[in-house]
Amino acid sequence: MVDAGGLRIVFFGTPQFAVPTLDLLLKSRHCVVGVVSQPDRPRGRGQRTTDAPVKVTALSAGLPIVQPQQLKDPALLDRLRELDADLAVVAAYGRLIPETLLALPRLGMINVHASLLPRYRGAAPVHRAVMAGERLTGVTIMRLVKEMDAGPILAVADRPIDPNETSEEVERDLARLGAELLVSTVDTMAIGRAEESPQDDRLATLAPRLTKEDGLIAWSWPAERIHNQIRGLHPWPHAFTFLRDHRLILLRSTWSPTGSGASPGTILAAAGDHLDVAAGEGIVRVTEIQPEARRPMSARDFLAGHHLVGGDRFGAP
C-alpha cells in the first residue's frame, strides 16, 4: 500500500552502499514495489556465489527481485511496466541504465551519487577523491540521463574528509547521508516542489573504475600521495609493494614531509612500531600491513616475524 501522497518506487542497487537508501525508503511513506539488482556473483576469498547486500535486504522485506543479465532485455522492460512505478531510484547499481528504461517511470529515474557533482563522475568517486587528497566530498541526488552522471542536480549535501580516513570509512558515512538526502528529495518530488539545476560540464572530473594495478605504490611519489593511495584504496583493491619479490599489502600509514636523502623505497627504520620508508619527498610510516595470504597485522607484529634492516628496499618485483 502507498500512503496518501506517497510514490510507487522501483529500486536499482547492488552493494552495501545502497542498503541504507533502500532501508530508509522502506521506512518512508513511499512504497518500494520491486528491486533490480545485478546477478549473483562469486565473492570473497573462497569465490563462493552469494547474494549481494541489496538482494539480502530485499528478500528480508519480501520485495519482488529482478536480476537481469542485460538491462536491454525486453522481459525486464515488461516486468517494470507491470510494477507500474512512479519513480525509479538508483544507488550504486553498477551498470549504465539504457535510454529504454530512463523514461519508463512517470517521474523518471534519480540517482544517489557519492561525490559533489560535477566532480568525480564515474564508478569510483569516493576512492578517487580520497586518493587525490580531497578534504571535502558529499552526495548528490541527480536525475539520470544518457550521459554518465551528467544529469541535473536535485539536492546536495557535503561532508569533510579527515586526512587519515580510508575510503571505507568515508563511503560508509556517505551511504547514510545519501539515504537521508534521497528520501527527503523523493518527499519533495511527491508534492511537485523539486527543483533541478544543470551541471556545469566545464567543471567535470572523472572517477574511473579501480583495477588491481592501481594499487602498486611508486615510492618516487611524494609521501603524502603514497599515504593517500594507501587509504584511498582501502578496502579494495589495496595499495601494495614488494620486498624481496614478496607482495605486501599496505593497509594504514602516516606520513611526514621531512626528507631523508635516501633513495625512494629505502627502509629507514624497522624496529618497534616504526616501519619508515623513504618517498620521493618525505617519509611514509607504515602502521598496518598484510603479507600476501596472511592476516593483517600491526607494523610491530610484522617486524617481529620479518627481519628487516635499514637499507632494505620496497619496490616493484
Domain locations along the chain: 8-203, 212-305
pLDDT in tens, 78-135: 999 999 999 999 999 999 999 999 999 999 999 999 999 999 999 999 999 999 999 9
Share of the chain above pLDDT 90, in %: 90
DSSP element (H, E) containing 160:
strand 153-160
CATH number of 212-305: 3.10.25.10
**245: Cβ contacts below 8 Å, ≥ 6 apart:** 317
C-alpha cell at 244: 624481496
pTM, entire model: 0.94
Average pLDDT over residues 286-307: 94
Q: Give the Cβ contact number of residue 253 at 10 Å.
A: 23
* 43 — pLDDT class (breaks 50, 70, 90): low
Identity of residue 200: D
Average pLDDT over residues 287-304: 95
Whole-number pLDDT of residue 1: 52
CA distance 57 to 1: 19
CATH number of 8-203: 3.40.50.170
Whole-number pLDDT of residue 167: 98
When mean pLDDT is compared across 36-50, 132-146, 201-215, 265-279, the lowest value belongs to: 36-50
DSSP element (H, E) containing 116:
none
Give the single-character DSSP code of 222.
Answer: B
Pairing verdict, β 48-50 and 41-43? antiparallel
